[in-house]
Amino acid sequence: MTAPNNSSYQSKSSPINADLIPEFVFTVIKKLQQYDFQAFVVGGCIRDILLNRIPKDFDVATDAHPEQITAIFKNSRIIGRRFKIVHVRQQRELIEVSTFRKKPDEVSKLRNGVIQDNAFGTIEEDAERRDFTMNAIFYDPIHENFFDPFNGKKDIENSQINFIGKKDQRLHEDPIRLLRAIRFHAKLDFNLCLTKKEIQAYIQLLEDIPYSRIFDEMMKFFLTGHAERSIKVLKQYELLDIFFPHLAQHSLEKKSLLMLGMKNTDNRVKENKTVNPGFLMAVVLWDAFKTDKSFNDEALSLDAKIKNFFNQSAPNIFIHKRFIKYISDIWRLQPRFMKIRLKAVYRLSNHPRFRAAYDFLLLRSESDEEEKKYADWWTRWQSANESTRKQLLDQKDE
């Protein structure tokens, strides 16, 4: 394998826990190198390993082009339109293999606000186009070599988030990088290279970014194991005012539904359980829904109240329609948990959203004694046999 001609290519310069790199990753790297291609593990997985954390996925970067990669790996396929990458399947695992990229000769901005960069390049050019120094570390696990042109390891050691190049230029290229910087600050508890005043100034750049892309990025604050801290960081930088205006004055009290939901989400992520964004948003928006003017209008049905809420009082970020349907189902089922009658109970327990709605009831019950009575009843009901269920219905409160 030909090494990059750069002084930042360091041989065995820093210890790394190779046990955190799975065998299937070694296999992909080794095979690419056998065909005389450069191949490295790169990005967040290396950052996490240097922090002695277990990465959730691994990305491989190479100078091999997509067609060359698929020629080497039979169980692989090219995906992507703007920039082709290859999904390689090894030992039932899927690895994303991408070709080194560079800034294109002709700069153009896509409809989603991203600078188009779908040109192949060298490892040096690929490192330069990444966002933060800590995410631009390349590691060859076969030869135990690092390529770290921007001293990312040093920034990791110093718990520092730094942009590659001039932050003003990088943020204008893609304003979503501002949210990524704040998210890593929340996730890693690293020092942020932006002041509160700078954040308030740069946040205006997001006005030209489609809401759908902002929503996807915001969900990463809450669905990657650091939701509780993320809420606090967003409040600290007054970003809740922008993305979730109804939370701007929220006290973030530990026993509030919001914070209980954030804690519950973090626990599920740690236990490798799934978290539906619709459920998360049902928690985040619940207090706003209850204080919406339509909520207390007795002339309106619950369906009408929910519809009015999403038409008039939704947060500033776009929520996909499929999530609105999920949220609405959870909210619609809440009053039905209080109707403990034979037919009503069986109809509710057979509803496709029953489990999500029940989990939502459990969260509500942690801060509401009245709800706890019903949550306890439904908990007993689910674990009971038919004989015990009959007794539970007979003993219900009239």
**Pairing label, strands 101-102, 119-120:** antiparallel
d(CA 338, CA 397): 10
Residues 6+ away with beta carbon under 8 Å from 155: 132, 133, 134, 161, 162
DSSP at 163 = B
The structure tokens listed for 345 are: 């109970």
Is 174 noted as a catalytic residue in this protein? no
Is 126 noted as a catalytic residue in this protein? no
Burial class (CB in 10 A: 0-12, 13-18, 19+), 211: middle
Spell out where the chain has E strands: 9-11, 39-42, 59-62, 76-79, 85-90, 93-99, 101-102, 119-120, 138-140, 145-147, 160-161, 191-192
d(CA 398, CA 396): 6
H helix count then E strand count, the chain: 19, 12
Catalytic residue among 63, 117, 126, 131: 131
Residues 6+ away with beta carbon under 8 Å from 19: none
Buried b (16+ CB within 10 A) or exposed e, 237-255: bebbebbbebbeebeeeee
Distance of CA 58 to the CA centre of its chain: 16
Catalytic residue among 57, 168, 189, 376: 57
Catalytic residue among 59, 140, 155, 174: 59
Residues 6+ away with beta carbon under 8 Å from 26: 141, 142
Is 105 noted as a catalytic residue in this protein? no
The structure tokens listed for 115 are: 């600078």
Helix, strand, coil distribution of the chain in percent, nearest 5: 50, 10, 35
- Active-site residue set: 57, 59, 131
